[in-house]
């Protein structure tokens, strides 16, 4: 069984490709890479653009890389072609829900930080803020959240995959 996962953000050049890279790397480290098909897309994608240089540098500083990516638009049909669609913020969930009502969506749709990261009860948002208009430090903070969310997600996926 292969689980098909798509990460979604706005432009598909910062948060969602960061999550795609992190989850792919971490799944590989525990021997689950062959059980997961991971990609990413945007609700208002910068189609064809490379990953933002600040996102790429943040990933490479932490040992993820080299990073190759081109932005692409999320297609509503993918809600029936993926098992799980993971959004970065609530506006992405609303966008996905509005498309899912037209397709009879079969994919589970969740926020990345809705997985148990140990952040619950700390008054923190379940959204990964968009670092695009920020500096390198904001991309590092974004990557912290993406790593925490991906670790929690991978914990649930590993349990699901080993049970099947």
pLDDT band at 147 (very low <50, low <70, confident <90, very high): very high
Domain boundaries, the chain: 3-163
Average pLDDT of the segment spanning 78-88: 96
d(CA 5, CA 109): 10
Tell me the pLDDT tens digit for each residue of 109-128.
999 999 988 765 555 689 99
* 108 labelled catalytic: no
Catalytic residue among 6, 14, 15, 56: 15
State pTM to two decimals: 0.95
57 pLDDT higher than 70: yes
Average pLDDT of the segment spanning 21-39: 97
* 9 labelled catalytic: yes
164 pLDDT higher than 90: no
Sign of the alpha-carbon dihedral angle for 66, 37, 164, 110: positive
Catalytic residue among 6, 9, 14, 150: 9
d(CA 18, CA 128): 11
Average pLDDT of the segment spanning 52-74: 96
* 15 labelled catalytic: yes
The third-level CATH classification (topology) of the domain covering 3-163 is Rossmann fold (3.40.50)
Q: What is the pLDDT of residue 122?
A: 55
Q: What is the pLDDT of residue 163?
A: 83
Catalytic residue among 4, 70, 119, 130: 130
55 pLDDT higher than 60: yes
53 exposure class (CB count in 10 Å sphere: 0-12, 13-18, 19+) = exposed
């Amino acid at each position: 069984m292969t689980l098909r996962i798509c990460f979604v953000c706005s432009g598909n050049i910062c948060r969602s490709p960061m999550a795609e890279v992190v989850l792919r790397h971490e799944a590989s480290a525990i021997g689950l890479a062959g059980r997961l098909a991971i990609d990413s897309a945007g609700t208002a994608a910068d189609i064809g653009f490379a990953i933002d240089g600040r996102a790429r540098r943040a990933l490479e500083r932490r040992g993820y890389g080299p990073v190759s990516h081109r932005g692409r638009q999320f297609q509503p049909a993918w809600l029936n072609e993926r098992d799980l669609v993971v959004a970065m913020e609530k506006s992405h969930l609303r966008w996905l829900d509005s498309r899912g009502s037209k397709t009879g969506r079969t994919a589970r749709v969740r926020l990345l930080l809705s997985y148990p990261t140990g952040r619950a009860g700390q008054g923190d948002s379940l959204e990964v803020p968009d670092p695009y208009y920020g500096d390198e430090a904001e991309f590092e903070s974004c990557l912290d959240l993406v790593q925490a969310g991906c670790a929690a997600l991978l914990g649930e996926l590993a349990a699901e995959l080993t049970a099947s």
